[in-house]
């Protein structure tokens, strides 16, 4: 008020007067609140029991294969800072603002849970049900000889918008996949708001720690860095799926 309105110090009300006015306007002193706990639906515990039972049954069967699937946050390609650190004589220099994005990649992961084999397929278009099932198809075409004895595929997943059980296109494509390969599929969903328990989530944390100090300036750089990470002592298989995807459509 002194600087903007020209009042003198002796003309101003007592600080307690300001406090009372602020309180009346609901600008009260408030404690910093901790983050709200995860939401929990009534059926959460029952769902977790079913998940544990289904996973155990699969792991105990020699002819059942359990995988965990999920996509990671979209990856911007360019001279962009990721907030990490890298070892070198000079610090890498990134653009001041994240406006010069050359491309965007969609990482989709498939973790073979019991053997800790990870496959990451990067899409260059959109995350759709068709893209997800095409990633599964690409993965199975390369791994089916290893799993010639498998008679059931159990998939751990969350309730994401493209892979939810009510997503008709996702279910349709999975049925086609199962029929084509004569491979029954069992979907095991983690409870809503608890996707962090899906095994693949821990792989994403390892990938982020691995490359967050790097300038992923090109698609090739991103793929190369993803391939040098390790999960349980092994490097992942890296794929690039370049088809163009639109909502509710197949790749062109």
| Burial (0-12, 13-18, 19+ Cβ within 10 Å), 165 | exposed
List the single range of 30-39, 122-131, 216-225 with lowest mean pLDDT: 30-39
What confidence score (pLDDT) does residue 90 get?
A: 53
State whether the Cα torsion 145-71-51-197 is positive or negative: positive
Weakest mean pLDDT among 2-11, 62-71, 100-109, 141-150: 2-11
Q: 114: how many CB neighbours lie within 10 A of its CB?
A: 13
pLDDT of 207: 95
> What is the structure's pLDDT at 250?
46
Whole-number pLDDT of residue 247: 75
Instruction: Answer for the pair 215, 94: CB distance below 8 angstroms, yes or no.
Output: yes
Measure the CA–CA gap between 245 and 92, rounded to whole angstroms.
34
pTM of the model: 0.79
The tens digit of pLDDT for each residue in 163-185 reads 998 999 999 999 999 999 999 99
pLDDT in the model for residue 92: 57
Strands 237-241 and 117-123: parallel
Mean pLDDT for all residues in the chain? 88
- Please state the rounded mean pLDDT for residues 14-27: 84
pLDDT of residue 23: 85
Between CA 177 and CA 88 the distance in angstroms is: 47
DSSP string, 72-101: PPPEEESS---S----SSS-----SSTT--
User: Higher confidence at residue 248 or residue 175?
Assistant: 175
Q: Which residue has the tokens 């995807």?
A: 245
pLDDT for the residue numbered 38: 60
SS (H, E, C) 112-168: EHHHCEEEEEEECCCCCHHHHHHHHHHHHHHHCCCCCCCCEEEEEECCCCCCCCCCH
Reported as a single tens digit per residue, the pLDDT across 99-142 is 678 899 999 999 999 999 999 999 999 999 999 999 999 999 99
Please give the pLDDT value at position 88: 46
Contact call for residues 104 and 76 (beta carbons, < 8 A): yes
pLDDT at position 135 is 97
């Amino acid at each position: 008020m002194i600087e903007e309105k020209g009042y003198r110090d002796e003309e101003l009300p007592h600080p307690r007067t300001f406090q009372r006015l602020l309180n009346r306007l609901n600008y009260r002193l408030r404690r910093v609140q901790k983050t709200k706990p995860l939401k929990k639906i009534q059926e959460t515990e029952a769902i977790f029991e079913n998940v544990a039972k289904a996973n155990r049954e699969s792991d105990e069967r020699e002819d059942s294969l359990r995988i965990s699937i999920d996509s990671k946050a979209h990856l911007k390609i360019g001279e962009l800072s990721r907030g990490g650190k890298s070892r070198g004589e000079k610090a890498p220099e990134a653009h001041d603002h994240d406006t010069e994005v050359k491309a965007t990649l969609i990482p989709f992961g498939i973790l073979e849970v019991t053997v800790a084999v990870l496959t990451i397929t990067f899409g260059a278009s959109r995350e759709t049900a068709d893209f997800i099932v095409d990633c599964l198809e690409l993965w199975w075409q390369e791994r089916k000889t290893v799993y010639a004895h498998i008679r059931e595929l159990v998939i751990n997943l969350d309730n994401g918008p493209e892979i939810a059980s009510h997503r008709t296109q996702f279910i349709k494509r999975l049925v086609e996949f199962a029929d084509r390969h004569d491979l029954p599929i069992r979907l095991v969903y983690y409870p809503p708001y608890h996707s962090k328990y899906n095994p693949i989530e821990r792989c994403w944390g390892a990938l982020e720690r691995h490359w967050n100090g790097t300038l992923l300036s090109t698609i090739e750089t991103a793929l190369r860095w993803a391939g040098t990470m390790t999960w349980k002592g092994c490097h992942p298989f890296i794929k690039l799926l370049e088809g163009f995807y639109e909502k509710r459509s197949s790749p062109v």
